[in-house]
Amino acid sequence: MNVIRWQPPWSLIQISNNQWIIIRDQAARPAVLVRYLENKPDTPYRVVRWAADPADRRLFECFRSLETADMAVTVIDGEPDTGRTVLSSDRSPEWGRFERWFWS
């Protein structure tokens, strides 16, 4: 079986010096908002579920890099998937999320 690296459907969209939006299933609506936090050296990229009202945004997870944040955001029924399934030992947990969604 050949494994093809999954590519997100759209590139990250930078909206300020330290913020990006990630779009997935709905082209006209962000799935999540990513923000770089300098005071969190281990996991500086905080990902929150998108909502027009900032008070309605909820934490998805924090990541070490912008690329892993982008790979981790898959969408099932309008919400980012927070499930973790590691399908092979040489891949990070972020890949398992996509594979679980893809094969279900």
Over the stretch 69-81, which tens digit does the pLDDT of each residue have? Answer: 888 887 655 555 5
Question: What residue ranges do the domains of the chain occupy?
Answer: 13-103
Predicted pLDDT at 84? 44
Query: Which tens digit of pLDDT belongs to each residue from 12-66?
Result: 899 999 999 998 878 888 989 999 999 988 999 999 988 889 898 889 889 999 9
3 versus 24: the higher-pLDDT residue is 24
Predicted pLDDT at 74? 76
Structure tokens at 19: 């913020």
Whether 93 and 86 have beta carbons less than 8 Å apart is answered as: yes
Provide the Cα torsion 43, 75, 29, 33; round to 10°: -10
The Cα 79–Cα 72 span in angstroms is 13
Predicted pLDDT at 73? 84
